Amino acid sequence: MLNHTPKEIQERKGGVINPAKTCQPIGAMYAALGIHNCLPHSHGSQGCCSYHRMHLTRHFRDPVMASTSSFTEGASVFGGGANVKASVRNVFSIYNPDVMAIHTTCLTETIGDDIPSFIAAAEVPEGKTVIHANTPSYVGSHITGFSNMTKAMVGYLAEATDDSKKEQANVIPGFVNPGDMREIKRIMKLMEVPFIMFPDTSGVVDSPMTGEFSMFPKGGTTVEQLRDTGNSKITLALGEFAANDAAVLLDRKCKVPAKILRTPIGIKATDEFLMALRSTFAKEIPYELEEERGQLVDIITDTHFHFHGKKVAIFGDPDIVIALTEFVMSLGMVPVHVLTGTPGKSFERQVKAMLLAAGVEGNVKAAGDLFLLHQWLKNEPVDLLIGNTYGKYIARAEDIPLMRVGFPILDRSVHSYLPIVGYKGALRLIEMISNTLLERQDRDAEDEDFELVM
């Protein structure tokens, strides 16, 4: 497995080997699926759209619908205006969504297609909406694409219709699973704070089996809600990389103040999320949440010896990795390798600061790849690898147990239905960490060291 990866690390500048990121449009497609009755549309050649639908489908094991402008060589040279106009006509007459959310690819960005003027010239039926985001694949990563499409929801739809703000919060959950979005919504309901979450893919990519296929499932944030985000009292952006830009634009456009928080993974980040709600809306934290927090601390205390001092490597998308790094440190674990494929100085700054504060010496890199991570692991092995499915090749090569968290997870099911956020999600993470480590201890133990009670 991965036999050609040498232990010795040499600096590489020509590109990446085994990326820890993918390109913008898939993130935009995912965000657009979080709008109710919306069909994502990929303005480019059709290969991108197929790849993105396939990849999301494999992660969620649910239908992922999207249309494409299907560029040919002619359109690539002379522009794709006719393609997008035909797409708008065909999509609305054949599939009838309420919203068409267009994103772009490296093709259409390179040729400089002017989407707003194309949309203006297209026949958009009465009462229907077309929004767009520019998502050049050669900038950032899929997280950037998610951020750009979320920003487009604000840019096209958010309206401040009243001078005074409503007692309601906007929540931008970031690039997380529908299971996480459901958990954040549950917390909001327990807090009794009215809210608009956007985008919201719960009920879309985790839809139930009913015997009927619904092209536009029940879930998703409605256009009315998206409009109303301009009237909220605050926007909580969970995850700087995925959620920051939309929140900032909402502040600029509609004067809704933005609060940038971490993805609420683990005790500290969840505490901060609740404290933000508490102070903004002057609401006490209900006992149910206090109980959940107490249960979490109880379990960590009970089982700290399962994971304390264990070395761990974490890779994936920046918001998730930052929050996870903090969480495993709060368990007493030692993150010695932390990497994301998404570029951005803030990632390295934040993670390094955390490691420094804890006195941990570790490798930290943004815009890194899994080839480098593997080399780090050859030089300094760990007890646990946390990351997406691609980590299984490294895990096998180096005989390190892998715990699957993040995007994409292509070889296991259920993960996207259950949360990793909130106190409940943290409890689930601890179960996953402990199970993974203890399974390994059981597997490796001599008969005489094989324990009944652990």
Site for other proteins in 384-443 (CB under 8 A): 393
Would you say 274 or 370 has its CB closer to other proteins?
370
Residues touching other proteins, count (CB under 8 A): 82
Give the CA distances from residue 141 to residues 135, 279, 281, 319, 389, in Å, rounded to whole numbers and listed in that order.
9, 34, 35, 13, 18
> Quick count: other Cβ atoms within 10 Å of Cβ 447?
5
Would you say 21 or 337 has its CB closer to other proteins?
21
Of 393, 361, 394, nearest to 375 (Cα)? 394
Least Å from the CB of residue 247 to other proteins? 24
Would you say 88 or 115 has its CB closer to other proteins?
88
Least Å from the CB of residue 322 to other proteins? 21
Footprint on residues 213-242 left by other proteins (CB under 8 A):
213-215
Binding mask 187-216 for other proteins (x = CB under 8 A): --------------------x-xxxxxxx-
> Quick count: other Cβ atoms within 10 Å of Cβ 81?
17
Least Å from the CB of residue 13 to other proteins? 6
Query: Which of 73-81, 147-155, 191-199, 439-447 is the region at the interface with other proteins (rule: CB under 8 A)?
Result: 73-81
Would you say 89 or 185 has its CB closer to other proteins?
89
DSSP string, 141-161: -HHHHHHHHHHHHHHHH----
Query: Which of 21-29, 161-169, 228-236, 350-358 is the region at the interface with other proteins (rule: CB under 8 A)?
Result: 21-29
Q: Residues 6 or more apart from 287 whose CB is under 8 A from it?
A: none
- HSE value, Cβ hemisphere, 13 Å, CA-based, for 419: 22
Would you say 130 or 267 has its CB closer to other proteins?
130
Would you say 212 or 449 has its CB closer to other proteins?
212
Would you say 325 or 340 has its CB closer to other proteins?
340
Would you say 331 or 372 has its CB closer to other proteins?
372
Tokens of 194: 């009215």
Least Å from the CB of residue 270 to other proteins? 32
Dihedral sign for Cα atoms in the order 212, 215, 220, 224? negative
Least Å from the CB of residue 397 to other proteins? 9
Tokens of 114: 């002017």
β-sheet bridge partners, residue 129: 99
Does 137 bind other proteins (CB under 8 A)? Our answer is: yes
d(CA 145, CA 166): 30
Query: Which of 136-144, 254-262, 317-325, 378-386 is the region at the interface with other proteins (rule: CB under 8 A)?
Result: 136-144
Footprint on residues 38-67 left by other proteins (CB under 8 A):
41, 44-48, 50-55, 57-58, 61-67
Phi, psi angles (nearest 5°) of residue 310: -75, 140
Footprint on residues 325-364 left by other proteins (CB under 8 A):
341
Q: Is 64 helix (H, G, I), strand (E, B) or coil?
A: coil
Query: Which of 9-17, 153-161, 332-340, 420-428 is the region at the interface with other proteins (rule: CB under 8 A)?
Result: 9-17
**H or E segment and range at residue 386:** strand 384-387
Footprint on residues 109-128 left by other proteins (CB under 8 A):
109-111
Binding mask 74-93 for other proteins (x = CB under 8 A): xxx------xx-xxxxxx-x
d(CA 387, CA 365): 15
Would you say 337 or 374 has its CB closer to other proteins?
374
Does 15 bind other proteins (CB under 8 A)? Our answer is: yes
Least Å from the CB of residue 63 to other proteins? 5
Would you say 59 or 259 has its CB closer to other proteins?
59
Least Å from the CB of residue 274 to other proteins? 36
d(CA 313, CA 362): 9
Does 163 bind other proteins (CB under 8 A)? Our answer is: no
Tokens of 386: 């946390």
Least Å from the CB of residue 267 to other proteins? 34
Angle between helices 142-157 and 24-33 in degrees, nearest 10: 50
Phi, psi angles (nearest 5°) of residue 234: -155, 155
**Rg of the chain over all Cα atoms, to the nearest angstrom:** 22
Least Å from the CB of residue 432 to other proteins? 23
Q: E-strand spans in 33-177?
A: 38-43, 67-68, 99-104, 129-133, 169-172
Tokens of 222: 């409605």
**H or E segment and range at residue 46:** helix 46-60
Footprint on residues 252-271 left by other proteins (CB under 8 A):
none
Footprint on residues 286-325 left by other proteins (CB under 8 A):
none
